[in-house]
Each structure stands twice: as structure tokens, then as C-alpha cells.
Amino acid sequence: MIPPQEASARRREIEDKLKQEEETLSFIRDSLEKSDQLTRNMVSILSSFESRLMKLENSIIPVHKQTENLQRLQENVEKTLSCLDHVISYYHVASDTEKVIREGPTGRLDEYLGSMAKIQKAVEYFQDNSPDSPELNKVKLLFERGKESLESEFRSLMTRHSKAVSPVLILDLISGEEELEIQEEVPLEHLPEGVLLDVIRISRWLVEFGHNQDFMNVYYQIRSSQLDRSIKGLKEHFRKNSSASGVPYSPAIPNKRKDTPTKKPIKRPGTIRKAQNLLKQYSQHGLDGKKGGSNLIPLEGRDDMLDVETDAYIHCVSAFVKLAQSEYQLLVEVIPEHHQKKTFDSLIQDALEGLMLEGENIVSAARKAIVRHDFSAVLAIFPILRHLKQTKPEFDQVLQGTAASTKNKLPGLITSMETVGAKALEDFADNIKNDPDKEYNMPKDGTVHELTSNAILFLQQLLDFQETAGAMLASQVLGDTYNIPLDPRETSSSATSYSSEFSRRLLSTYICKVLGNLQLNLLSKSKVYEDPALSAIFLHNNYNYILKALGGVQGWATEGCHASGSASFMPLPPSSATCRLTFTWKQGTSCWGGTWVFKSRSTYSLLTLTISFTTWAWNSSSITGGGWERAVS
């Protein structure tokens, strides 16, 4: 059992807790009553507020809707006014821009193009909204007038600022390319930078908005004229300089000849003239130092002019390539891409036609020279043809994209020159063979004959143009003429891609033919002399001249055409008065030699000739002809 004291304590504890709970319950009841009262008050307030809001809404919403409608109307009015202002501005465009259009774009291109943009928009508006409006005609006329002013400004800018390139600058450009190949090429400034920018903007506007391509014709006509003037100015520069200070320097014609270590290179221009002087020197002196009897007409003046014309033409060809490249760079900036090739084709036509016409004139003059047997004049073709072939890759690159007729002009000229050159070579060989034996034309003292000097001069000229001359012969497929077997690869190749080895063999064989013809003709001419000793001296002088002129020359040999040996004229005792000629020759694998004598009534001093060359094939018939007799050993 629980003790009484403990139970009493327990009871008091429970009663205290019960009392606390009752107090808490009483507090909660009071709080609930207050909360209910507050709730009732809040509900009453909210109900009153809702009622008032309903009344406010009923009075505000109509006003709001009315205000919204008014705002919408205001916006519509503002938009309408803006549209009206915009439309009205189109009606004022003509009057607002007329002054600017009338004064033109010179000096204020930005403002002018802005006015043209306004006029264009006005035209588009009236075309879409009021095609019958008189204002449309006004702005159309103003637009056309403005477009014409832009075209005139384009023409004016191109005309005023397009200048022919000075000859000195062209020569620097040509020579600078060869001397400074590593340096980056600096383009020519055909137009000042500011002018070029204006020209580009006008051209783009005319293409995009003007729908006009006439300015392209203006462009190519003006630039074509300047290109033509530049080339003609260079040519005139050569003529003036040549008349004032001799033949000008020619940076466009580098010396391509491979010289022997003991022989200095022959400089061009002036090769023809210098060789003519050399010819004159040799032809007027025999071995004894006396002046000969060959009657050469002095040709220095004509040869100087020939050199000037040749040099001028070669430089003009190089100048055309460089200037055409520069013109294309300028054209790309001004002309739309899809019109560039056609415009460039038209631009270069006049200058190219002039070059081709001059080239054809050179060919025609060469044909006439062949008829006159003036083969020294034909030599002008060789440096020109060589330069044309060297320049052809650049030509093809410049003319890429042009019409086929334009591309074929240079190959056609090259073919014409090769044909005429080959004809000249053949006629020259025949002329050497068939030169008549005339007593009045023979040197009285047995010195070098004019035929010999002319023939050697011509062959010396071929040294500078071995590849060109060989290609001339190969272009006419003359292998059968010289009994040279044609390689199938060579016969199947195009006319412009002959084997260099085949061309070299053709040229070597051709030179053999010329020398052989010359030898036979000289033997025939020697019979004109009544004095056999003078006849022998004549042959000796001519052969000595030939060997000295061609001595040390390399690159003439061809397989199966080789000769070497020695020859000497020695007097016999005075009683016999016989002139003795000793030969020892080797040709191919066979050797022959011996001593040949010619009876003479005169006694000559000792004359010795040592022969060493690679292309002149001698034979016994050449010696036995003309009264030579083999001496008994």
C-alpha cells in the first residue's frame, strides 16, 4: 500500500495540475471569443471594401475602356501623320535634291549618292502607289539626270587621272623584274587612291542601282587608250634616244649565249651592227694585211635603225605584258566579277592589235628582204621570235579567260615568224650555193670574198639564236631535208614543243650544208682567176677567214659531221715555182690525206694555215676539183 503521506502529496500535485489546465482552458476560450469577434469585424470590413470596390469598378471600367480607345485612336493618328509626312516627303524629294543633282557629284560624292538614294525611294514609292502621278515623271527624270551625272563623273575621273605610264617607269619595271626577282613586285599606281575609291563607289552604284553597263565601255576605252599610249610612248622614247645618243640599253633582252672561257659575251642590242663591222674588217683585209677587193656597202645606219626597231618592239612586248597585268589588277577593283574577262579582253585589243600588226609588218619586211636576198635584214626576226617565245607563258597567263581569237594572236605571229625564218634559212643556203661567178665581183688581190663574209656573218648571228633557229627548222619538219631520222616522239609532238636535241641537230646539219655550199662556190669562183697561184691564195684567204671567224665556237658539232686537220701552203724551189697544199683530214672513222700541188708562175712567201673545227666536212672531190693534182710522194 501507498503510505498516506505519499498519497496526500500525490493528490495535491494532481490538483495543482488540474487547476493549471483549467486556467489554460479558460484562457483559450477567451482567446477564441476574441478571435471570433475579430473575424466578424474583418468580415464586415472586407464586405464593406468589396462593396466599395464593386462600386468603383462599375464606375472606372467604362472610363478605362474609353481611355484605351482614345489612346488607340491617338496612336493611329500619329501613325497616319507619320505616313503622311513620309509620303509628303516624296513629293518634296524633287525640289529638295534638285540643286544637289544639278551641281553634280564633283567634290561631294557622299552627299550626291545620299540624294540619289532618296530619289530612288521616291521613284519606287510612286511606281507602287501612284503610277499615274506627275511626281513620278519628275523624280524619274531627276533620277536619270543624276545617273547621267554619275556616268559623266566616272568618265571625268577616269579621263583626268588616267595617264600614260612614262617610258622610264616602264623600263624600270621591266629591268627591275630581272635584277630584283626576289623582291615583291610593286604595282603601278594608275589612279590616285582617293580617285580610285570614288571610281569604285560610282561603279558599284551604277551596277546595283543604275542597272547600267555603259560605264564599262567607258572604262575599257579610256584605259585601252592609255595602255596603247604607254606602249607607243615607249617606242617613241627609243627612237628619240637612239637619234640623240645612239642605241638605248635593252634590259629586256638578256644575253642567253653560252660563251667559251676565252671569248667574252656579245652584248645586245647592236649585235647585227657589230657583226657587220667585224665582217667589214675581215672582208677588207687578206692574210698579208692588205685591203681586199670585196665591195661591201656600208650598212651601219640601216643596222642601227634595225637594232632600234627590234629593241623597241621587244621592249614593247615586255611592256605590254607588265602593263596588262597591272591593268587587270585595277580592273578587278572597278568592274564586277562577271564582266571582268570580257572588259579586259576589249581593253587590251588596241594595244595587242598594234603589237601584232607591227609584228606582221616585220614578217612582211622579212619576206621582202628574202626576195631581195637581203638576209641580214631577216636577222631582226631572231631576237624578236626568241623573246616572244620566252614571254609566251606570261602572255598566256595574262590572256587567260579572254576570247580564243585573242589568245591565238601571239601563237599565230610566232608561227608566221618561224615560217619566214625557216624560209630565209633555206633560201640563204641556196643563195650561197647558186651565187654567180662574176669577174667584176672578185677581189683583185685574192682577199676574202663578199659572199664568204656575208655567209659567216649570218652564221655568227645564229650563235646568239641557236635554239630559235633550230626551232624554226624543226617547225617546218625539215628532218628529211637534212637526212636526219625523226624520233617518233618528236614527230608526234606539237609544232611548238620540239625536242631541243633534235633542233640542235637540225641546226648543226644546216650549218654543215651552208659551209659545204660555200666551199663548193668558193672553189668555183677560184676558177675565175687566170693566175693559179692567185686562185690558191684566194681559197687560202677565204678558208682562213672562215676558220678564224668560227674558231673556238662550241655547240656546232653534230654526230657524223666532224672534221679536223691542218693545211699549209709552201713554196717549192724557185725553179719549179709550184705551190704545194698539204691536207690531212679525218671524218667519222675514215682518214685521208696527201699533198696536192698547183703549178704557178709566181713564188709566194710561206703561208701556213692550221685548221680545227667541228662542222665543215671536206672531201677529196672538193680538192681535186679546180685543177689540183695529187703530188707524187
DSSP letter string, 572-627? --TTT-EEEEEEEEEETTEEEEEEEEEE-SS----EEEEEEESS----HHHHHTTS
Average pLDDT over residues 563-568: 38
Residue 306's pLDDT is 62
pLDDT of residue 292: 37
Which positions ≥6 away from 418 have C-beta within 8 Å? 385, 471, 472, 475, 476, 495
At residue 119 the predicted structure's pLDDT band, cuts being 50, 70 and 90, is very high
pLDDT at 67 over 80: yes
Percent over 90 (pLDDT), the chain: 35
Q: Assess whether pLDDT exceeds 70 at residue 586.
A: no
How many Å apart are CA 550 and CA 614, to the nearest integer? 10
**180 by DSSP, 3-state: which?**
coil
- pTM comes to 0.68
564/330: higher pLDDT: 330
Spatial separation of the C-alpha atoms in residues 231 and 354, rounded to whole Å: 9
Report pLDDT for 552. Answer: 53
Cell of 202: 560610282
Q: State the amino acid at position 229 in one-letter form.
A: R
Q: Taken in order 274, 280, 281, 287, is the CA torsion positive or negative?
A: positive
Q: 3-class SS at 451? A: helix
User: Which residue(s) pair with 551 in the sheet?
Assistant: none
Bridge partners of 613, per DSSP, are 563
Residue 599 has pLDDT above 90, yes or no: no
Q: Are strands 629-630 and 563-571 parallel, antiparallel or unpaired?
A: unpaired
Q: Distance between CA 236 and CA 312 in Å, rounded?
A: 8
Q: Which of 56-65, 168-177, 612-621 has the lowest mean pLDDT?
A: 612-621
Quote the pLDDT of residue 497: 46
What is the average per-residue pLDDT within 406-429?
92
User: What gap in Å lies between CA 477 and CA 471, rounded to an integer?
Assistant: 10
Confidence (pLDDT) at 135:
87
Report pLDDT for 109. 92
Instruction: Write out pLDDT tens, residues 537-549.
Output: 888 999 888 888 8
Weakest-pLDDT range from 55-69, 106-120, 268-282, 612-626: 612-626
For residue 202, pLDDT beyond 80: yes
Say whether pLDDT at 113 is over 60: yes
Taken in order 187, 190, 192, 197, the sign of the CA dihedral is negative
Specify the pLDDT at position 259. 35
- Over range 189-215, report the average pLDDT: 89
Query: Highest mean pLDDT range out of 409-413, 431-435, 532-536?
Result: 409-413
C-alpha cell at 516: 659545204
Lowest-confidence pick of 129-138, 197-206, 217-226, 603-612: 603-612
> In 3D, which of 240, 276, 262 has the Cα closest to residue 453?
276
Residue 540 parent element (H or E): helix 532-550
Angle of helix 500-526 relative to helix 532-550, nearest 10 degrees, comes to 160
Distance CA 322, CA 47 (A): 100
Tell me the one-letter amino acid at 34.
Answer: K
More confident residue, 438 or 220: 220
Q: Looking at this protein, which amino acid is placed at residue 52?
A: R
Separation between Cα atoms, residue 249 and residue 575, nearest integer Å: 61
Mean residue pLDDT across the chain: 75
Q: Give the Cα separation of 249 and 269 in Å (integer).
A: 7
Reply yes or no: is the peptide bond before residue 265 cis, omega within 30 of 0: no
Distance of CA 314 to the CA centre of its chain: 13
pLDDT band with cut points at 50, 70 and 90 for residue 623? very low
Note whether 154 and 127 are within 8 A (CB).
Answer: no
Question: What value does the mean pLDDT take over residues 407-419?
Answer: 93
The pLDDT of residue 408: 93
Query: Which position has the higher pLDDT, 245 or 250?
Result: 245
pLDDT score of 603: 34
Q: Residue 478 pLDDT > 70, yes or no?
A: no
Contact between residue 237 and residue 167 where contact means Cβ atoms under 8 Å apart:
yes
Residue given cell 489554460 in the structure block: 24
Average pLDDT over residues 402-431: 92
Sorting pLDDT into bands at 50, 70 and 90, what band is 435?
confident
Q: What is the pLDDT of residue 595?
A: 40
What value, to the nearest 5°, has the Cα angle with vertex 366 and ends 365 and 370? 120
* Beta sheet of 629-630, edge-to-edge order: 607-613, 563-571, 578-587, 590-599, 629-630
Looking at residue 333, what is its pLDDT? 93
d(CA 172, CA 249): 12
Residue 381 has pLDDT above 70, yes or no: yes
Instruction: Spell out the residues 6+ positions from residue 295 whose beta carbon is closer than 8 angstroms to its own.
Output: 441, 450
Q: Whose CA is closest to 576, among 600, 612, 595?
A: 600
Q: What is the 3-state secondary structure (H, E, C) of 305-344?
A: HHHHHHHHHHHHHHHHHHHHHHHHHHHHHHCCHHHHHHHH
pLDDT of residue 489 exceeding 70? no
Lowest mean pLDDT among 78-92, 300-314, 407-421: 300-314
Beta bridge partners of 571: 579
- pLDDT beyond 80 at 339: yes
pLDDT above 70 (res 1): no
Q: How far lies 507's CA from each of 273, 369, 447, 501, in Å?
A: 23, 22, 29, 10
pLDDT at 256: 36
E-strand spans in 215-270?
none
| Range with the poorest average pLDDT among 113-127, 191-205, 218-232, 259-273 | 259-273
| Mean pLDDT for the stretch of residues 147-165 | 92
> Using 50, 70 and 90 to split pLDDT, how confident is the model at 258?
very low
Query: Comparing 435 with 432, which gets the higher pLDDT?
Result: 432
126-135, 414-423, 548-557: least confidently modelled range: 548-557
Beta strands in 418-508 (DSSP E): none
Q: What is the pLDDT of residues 295-329, one digit of tens each?
A: 333 344 445 556 788 888 999 999 999 999 999 99
Does residue 560 or residue 167 have the better pLDDT?
167
Task: State percent of the chain over pLDDT 70.
Answer: 71
Q: Which of 424-428, 458-462, 561-565 is most confident?
A: 424-428
Looking at residue 148, what is its pLDDT? 92
User: 592 with 607: CB under 8 angstroms?
Assistant: no
Q: Residue 440 has what pLDDT?
A: 72
Segment 498-518 mean pLDDT: 83
Query: Helix, strand or coil for residue 162?
Result: coil
| Whether the predicted pLDDT of 447 surpasses 60 | yes
